[in-house]
Amino acid sequence: MNNTQLQKTIERYFAAGPDAIGDEAAMTAFLVLRTALENGEVRAASPDAASPSGWRVNPWVKQGILLGFRLGLLKEFFADGLSFVDKSTYPVRHFNAGDGVRVVPGGSSVRAGAYVARGVVCMPPMYINAGAWVDEGTMVDSHALVGSCAQIGRHVHLSAAAQIGGVLEPVNASPVVIEDDVLVGGNCGVYEGTVVKKGAVLAAGTILTRGTPVFDLVNGTILRASGELPLVIPENAVVVPGSRAVAVGKGHENSREWGLSLYAPVIVKYRDDKTDLSTALEELLR
Ligand SMILES: CC(C)(COP(=O)(O)OP(=O)(O)OC[C@H]1O[C@@H](n2cnc3c(N)ncnc32)[C@H](O)[C@@H]1OP(=O)(O)O)[C@@H](O)C(=O)NCCC(=O)NCCS
């Protein structure tokens, strides 16, 4: 089955709703998709120079992943004395030394249907959900989450507790994209289809959602998501968590009542030699 046939089949069984439950052909189509996702032959979003964000979403992939939840039954999984109960369609992936992926023991899981390239390092505990793509040489540090269908490029550093949102819950149409050579600092959160372009740096604690305006001090512009376009962080931008005064009502700084500020991510500069030094990765860890 080629990818076009697979797409059509998945779309048909997704549209069939509960009627697909128990249908062996539906399960086969789902398993073909799951394997294609793991092999990196199918992606939830693909690079597309013609699109304003540089990415094209493949919505049928998410439909296929949801189909897997519909078709799966609860099943017990056992591992070293621990037991787990989850959907039969998403067991834990197993790697061997030949796969070139280092998974350090301790509370980490890569769900079936996730693509994890050679040279990726997964520090415990961390989680990579179905449909995610994690490319070569990327570090997924402790307590980091790669949400469903999120696309993570090459040589990305997802620092401790960085959270990359998925598309399943709450329901989101577009996967988050983190392009090559991005550093996502500790405790960052990137959600709701945000695209972080190549080489950008998110300082520790930066949170980006579809509704978050980002203030570019260098260019004097405010970046926002609009319509079909997600929030896009430009190439090599260095984003730090800041705040901005509330301008209305009791929140106004001069109102002498509440004097509130709102969280505001700020692009303080574009990557320079100092940033390269601050974000240098340790090759020995890879
Ligand atoms: C963003 C970061 C990489 C620094 O980059 P840099 O290019 O060296 O930045 P600079 O030190 O030149 O700072 C540029 C400006 O941003 C400000 N800034 C830098 N980091 C900041 C931060 N985290 N929060 C708020 N402001 C910050 C600086 O004060 C400076 O502004 P100023 O010139 O007005 O003083 C660093 O702050 C950071 O967050 N690193 C990630 C740490 C981390 O999460 N490690 C993971 C461990 S698992």
The pLDDT tens digits of the residues spanning 202-250 come to: 999 999 999 999 999 999 999 999 998 999 999 999 999 999 998 888 7
Compute the distance from residue 143 Cα to the ligand 1 centre, in Å. Answer: 21
Does 204 contact ligand 1 (Cβ within 6 A)?
yes
pLDDT value, residue 81: 75
- The torsion angles phi and psi of 223, rounded to 5 degrees, stand at -95, 135
Between 49 and 105, name the one with better pLDDT: 49
As given in the structure block, the two tokens for residue 85 are 């109960």
The DSSP code sequence of 95-144 is: --GGG--EE-SSS-EEBTT-EE-TT-EEPSS-EE-TT-EE-TT-EE-TT-
This prediction has a pTM of 0.91
For ligand 1, whether the C-beta of 201 sits within 6 Å is yes
Q: Is the CB of 186 under 6 A from ligand 1?
A: yes
Instruction: Of 120, 149, 109, give the one whose Cα is nearest residue 133.
Output: 149
Rounded Cα–Cα distance for residues 19 and 4 (Å): 23
Ligand 1 pocket residue status of 9, Cβ below 6 Å:
no
Atom nearest to 202 CA in ligand 1: 1
Minimum CA distance residue for ligand 1 atom 41: 185
Residue 277 CA, closest ligand 1 atom number: 8
Of ligand 1's listed atoms, the one at least distance from the Cα of 188 is: 44
Please tell me the distance between residue 243's alpha carbon and the centre of ligand 1 in angstroms. 15
By most ligand atoms within 8 Å of CB, the mutation choice from 121, 214, 268 for ligand 1 is: 268
Give residue 257's identity as a one-letter amino acid code.
E
In angstroms, what is the span from residue 272 Cα to ligand 1's centroid?
12
Index of the ligand 1 atom closest to the CA of residue 272: 7
Distance from Cα 268 to the centre of ligand 1, integer Å: 9
43: helix, strand or coil: coil
Cβ–Cβ < 8 Å for 105, 111: no
Ligand 1 centroid–CA 226 distance in Å is 28
Q: Does 160 contact ligand 1 (Cβ within 6 A)?
A: yes
Distance CA 121, CA 190 (A): 20
Atom of ligand 1 nearest to the CA of 157: 46
282 pLDDT above the threshold of 90 = no
How many angstroms does the Cα of residue 95 sit away from the middle of ligand 1?
A: 36
Q: What is the pLDDT of residue 105?
A: 81
The pLDDT value recorded for residue 248 is: 84
Whether the CB-CB separation of 128 and 122 falls below 8 Å is answered with yes
**Residue 106: is its pLDDT beyond 90?**
no
pLDDT at residue 277 is higher than 80? yes
Q: Compute, in angstroms, the gap from residue 202 CA to the centroid of ligand 1.
A: 9
Amino acid identity at 57: V
- 193 alpha carbon to ligand 1 midpoint, in Å? 24
Query: Residue 258: which pLDDT band, with cuts at 50, 70 and 90?
Result: confident
Greatest extent of the chain over all pairs of C-alpha atoms, in Å: 67
Ligand 1 near 278 CB (within 6 A): yes
Q: What is the pLDDT of residue 253?
A: 65
